[in-house]
A and B are shown apart, each in its own frame.
Chain A
Amino acid sequence: MLSAMDPRTSFASAADLASGLAGTGYLADDALATVAWLALRLGRPLLTEGEPGTGKTALAEALAETLALPLVRLQCYEGIDATQALYDWDFPRQILHVRALEATTGGVTDVDAVEADLFDERFLLARPVLRALREAPAVLLVDEVDRADDEFEAFLLEVLSTWQVTIPELGTVTAATPPVVLLTSNRTRELHDALKRRCLYHWLEHPGIERELAILRARAPEVPEALAGQVVRLVHGIRADGELLKPPGVAETLDWARALHELGTRNLDTETAAATLGVAVKYREDAERVKRALDVMLTP
């Protein structure tokens, strides 16, 4: 990519976008490519839900890279509010500034002038949403929006409908081009219908064996083909066991393949798999369950 493009018109079709994403190592299927393309073309936020580790966050990173746009990430958590999402004033520096004025001019004389001076651009800490609006076109990733509170959702809804933010001391910031917005959710809480209505919706699933193998080839080309195949088949075997607390995601597959490659493994056997299982399976109960079944899973 040479320069930033207008996200609305940079791809003629969903297939174009899919090949663009593939160029960055993100392999999207038809459904995902179509929805993402629609989100770009219609200028709508895209809400992706799905199991952890199915590539929701990676999609935003790949989109930003494909479009050659900056990625601005807002991680949501319980209790997040506008000062963490929009902007805040840098108070320590403001106080320092007042003291410095005092020291050099022998006291503040014009309160209005000093106040105007204090609430100036240079003391403004721009947080992700404001940054995305200013740097637009940009890709704004609102990660795990289900973890935030209802009030924050309402605030987000306002920004996503108007693409502008008002700072009382400075004025209104409006995005020249609406940013490309991706929201991800793990469905711990039902999002409000009003927010969902603004967005296009996509449910991400774990990829099939072929696609996951292709992802592994694209993301970790150093891993030999035979080992990659073994790891992917083993991970699919583990996922097929519906009793696990947390089935491994694609990120875990990649980590596991890389870890085994680093250890110099050529052929995955039961001992090596059991020893490195912690890379892919993160609960003691799951690990014990998988260890008991490793023999069966590894015999072709």
Chain B
Amino acid sequence: MSTTQPVTAGDRHPPEEVLLGFARALRAAGVHVTADRERTYLEAVAALGLGSAAGAYHAGRATLCTSPADLERHDLVFAEWFGGTRAGWARRDPPPRVSAQAPLASSGSVDGGPPESEDVRARASGTEVLRRRDVATLSRDEREELARLFARLRPRAPRRRAHRWQVAARGGVDARRTLRATLRRMGEPGEVAWRRRGSRARRVVLLVDVSGSMSAYADALVRLAHAYCTAGVPTEVFTLGTRLTHITRPLHVRDPDRAIVAAGEAIPDWSGGTRLAEGVKVFLDRWGRRGMARGAVVVVFSDGWERDDPQALGEQVRRLAAVAHRVVWVNPHRGKAGYAPVQGGIMAVLPHVDALVAGHSMAAFEELTEVVAHA
């Protein structure tokens, strides 16, 4: 422990300037640092004493960071800002990788930079095509047409029993209201009030395959996801390609076109390869099994083209079905004449899904929203 190293970088700057500058640098690196957090940071460093660089390090991690991704960024910026003094108290373990719970097999490290916010490093094999889809290339007419159609779509949330009680004509005895009524009548027993559980919206999780074979549909599917996000349905959206990307936040922008652009920027692998089984596995390990998929209606949009072993995909979908309330598989090709589910991937997942529906046209999307609302 190099606890004697002072935090000031040279004698030219007062310590609070150095520390605040560090907080600003951290903000520039993408950590959400607010003014009150800066203040807490200064308080924390003051409490630990300016004499210790380790103190500034731990204080920064505790007060300026809110997620493992933030911690990683903090360590990088700290090393830069306080110039090489980090080695003295460097952690014995490597910094937590965001995908630590579910590293994909046969992965080759792609880059060493700070990770994108919720972008799990589902590292791809050699053939990964890391392209960003250029939303501007869509024709104006097409965009307006789609926006008009999707604005008409009214997705409804599936319901589950709520914890909270509601007044009802029958059900269980409502002791609180019965007592109040009794008191109002000077203790004379009277009519019994009844109550029962209300209902709440069930979560909907959308997993959208944005790989090359689905590229013709990807734009429409992301718009559908946006319709869900803005309709008041509790929704979580992920895209599956060579990586798994969490795009719920960008999709919560009200304006559909801006939301699609924001989502497009978040997705690094439009029209790339696909590793469905790995993507579903990462989703389950990192989000799904811990709670996001539990009791939720999970909708997978994919044609089931799996480069790897279809059995692996079947196994992951079995796991998915084991935690989710319902699994709905949407295959755009299903709506076409003469379609039969013969691809290996689809064959493998069929035993585990509750419904296989089409997803190729507006009518099919409307049908899908009905299936989900009644799941």
Contacts and interface: CB of A to CB of B under 8 A. Distances in A.
Contacts of A197: 34, 36-37, 66
A170 interface: no
Task: Give the interface SS of chain B, mostly helix, strand, loop or mixed.
Answer: helix
B162 interface: yes
B183 A245 contact: no
A214 B89 CA distance: 21
A279 to B, nearest CB: 21
Interface stretch (B4-12, B282-290, B362-370): B282-290
A72 B22 CA distance: 38
Given A30-B54, A201-B61, A42 B47 contact: yes
Interface in B173-218: 175-176, 178-179, 182-184, 186-187
Contact of B101 (A14, A51, A101, A196): A51
Contacts of A158: none
Interface string B291-302: 110010000000
A245 B289 contact: yes
Given A31-B58, A34-B55, A51-B101, A187 B34 contact: no
A106 B177 CA distance: 23
Interface string B1-45: 100000000000000000000000000000010101100100110
Given A203-B68, A208-B93, A91 B61 contact: no
Contacts of A222: none
B120 interface: no
Given A107-B187, A197-B34, A208-B92, A42 B44 contact: yes
Contacts of A173: none
A95 B62 contact: no
B89 A30 contact: yes
B76 interface: no
B152 interface: no
A99 B178 CA distance: 13
Contacts of A102: 187
A147 B91 CA distance: 30
Interface in A199-247: 200-203, 205, 208, 242, 245
A287 to B, nearest CB: 16
Interface string A98-132: 11011000011101001100100000000000000
Nearest to B176: A91
Contacts of A95: 175, 178-179, 182
**Interface magnitude class on chain B:** 35 or more
A30 B92 contact: no
A108 B55 contact: no
B48 A38 contact: yes
B1 A30 contact: yes
A92 B175 contact: yes
A38 B62 contact: yes
A107 B89 CA distance: 75
Given A30-B89, A107-B187, A193-B32, A14 B48 contact: yes
A100 to B, nearest CB: 10
Contacts of B48: 14, 34, 38
Contacts of A99: 187
Given A202-B62, A245-B285, A79 B164 contact: yes
A57 interface: no
A34 B58 contact: yes
A34 B179 contact: no
B34 A203 contact: no
A205 B67 CA distance: 13
Contact of B66 (A35, A81, A115, A201): A201
Contacts of B70: 201
Contacts of B290: 186-188
Interface string B82-108: 000000010111001000111100000
Given A189-B292, A202-B62, 4 more contacts: A30-B58, A35-B62, A114-B183, A203-B68
Interface of A: 14, 30-31, 34-35, 38-39, 41-42, 44, 47, 49, 51, 78-81, 89, 91-92, 94-95, 98-99, 101-102, 107-109, 111, 114-115, 118, 146-147, 186-189, 193, 196-197, 200-203, 205, 208, 242, 245
25 contacts: A35-B58, A35-B61, A39-B62, A51-B101, A79-B163, A91-B179, A95-B178, A99-B187, A107-B186, A107-B187, A108-B186, A108-B187, A114-B183, A186-B290, A188-B290, A188-B292, A197-B34, A197-B36, A200-B44, A201-B61, A201-B67, A201-B70, A203-B68, A208-B92, A242-B100
8 shortest interchain CB distances as A-B pairs: A79-B163, A188-B291, A188-B290, A91-B175, A34-B58, A108-B187, A200-B62, A35-B62
